[in-house]
Amino acid sequence: MNLVEYPDRDMMMMDLADTLASDLNNALMSNDKVSFAVPGGTTPGPLFDTLSAVRLDWDRVTVLLGDERWVPETSERSNARLVRARLLTGHAATAQFLPFYTDGLEPDEGLQAVSAKLTPMLPLSVLVLGMGADMHTASLFPGSEQLASAVASDAPPVMAVTAPGQPEPRVTLTGPVLSGAMSTHVVITGAAKRAAVERAESLDDPLVAPISLILKTATVHWAE
């Protein structure tokens, strides 16, 4: 596993923003349009703040989420709300965005339209993932009823899932999409997640440690 350790979170976010800008620019040199999948949750906000201030051809970048809680964007739980507020602003305001949630539809109904738009964007040009201390990533959770089918090689690109202890249904990019990304980064903080990512590397079993799907190809960025 390629793990980069930083002296503090601010330095990690600044350095990772630089790295992502370079990955996006490299992809933009050889593609008219590029896809950029980002995590939700509480970690990436400062990364988005820094990235949104970077000058690049954002109008040729489609931003999407690795996963979404099936809630309206008015909800504090919405990952799309986080991305619109913290990433799709400043220079990055001109980026395209592919939200997953559709008001009034159940996850399975809403995903048909998303899947049709997502497929031509694959493989993902740049992927950033978070991780939970339970070794979940995106919404691929240990113990989820749909986990085995979501990490299978024949999984559809995006799936509706439920997860133990999660208050709402979720939708998630699936194993083949995550492991097929051209450039993959994981951003985690704290001792518990450091121990968890090292455990995931040794387990090397996506059914127990979903993050292990991508650890052979990803760069893991960690600060205390």
Ligand X SMILES: O=C(O)[C@H](O)[C@@H](O)[C@H](O)[C@H](O)COP(=O)(O)O
| Rounded distance between C-alpha atoms, residue 79 and residue 75, angstroms | 9
Nearest residue to ligand X, using CB?
130
Scanning 132-140, 147-155, 196-204, 205-213 for contacts with ligand X by CB under 6 A, the matching segment is 132-140
At closest approach, how far in Å is the CB of 105 from ligand X? 19
Residue 184 lies near ligand X (rule: CB under 6 A): no
User: Partners of 69 in the beta sheet?
Assistant: 170
Among residues 85, 109, 110, the alpha carbon closest in space to that of 97 is found at 85
| Rounded distance between C-alpha atoms, residue 120 and residue 141, angstroms | 26
**Distance of CA 75 to CAs 9, 37, 63, 67, 184, Å?**
27, 21, 20, 15, 28
Neighbours of 192 (CB within 10 A): 12
- State whether residue 75 is helix, strand or coil: coil
Helix (H) or strand (E) holding 112: helix 107-118
Residue 67 lies near ligand X (rule: CB under 6 A): yes
Q: Return the residue of 35, 43, 125, 183 that touches ligand X, per CB under 6 A.
A: 43
Residues in contact with ligand X, counted by CB under 6 A, come to a total of 14
Q: Return the residue of 16, 17, 35, 40 that touches ligand X, per CB under 6 A.
A: 40
Q: Return the residue of 17, 138, 147, 171 that touches ligand X, per CB under 6 A.
A: 138
Scanning 25-33, 34-42, 95-103, 200-208 for contacts with ligand X by CB under 6 A, the matching segment is 34-42
Interface pattern 74-113 for ligand X (x via CB under 6 A): -----x----------------------------------
Residue 176 lies near ligand X (rule: CB under 6 A): no
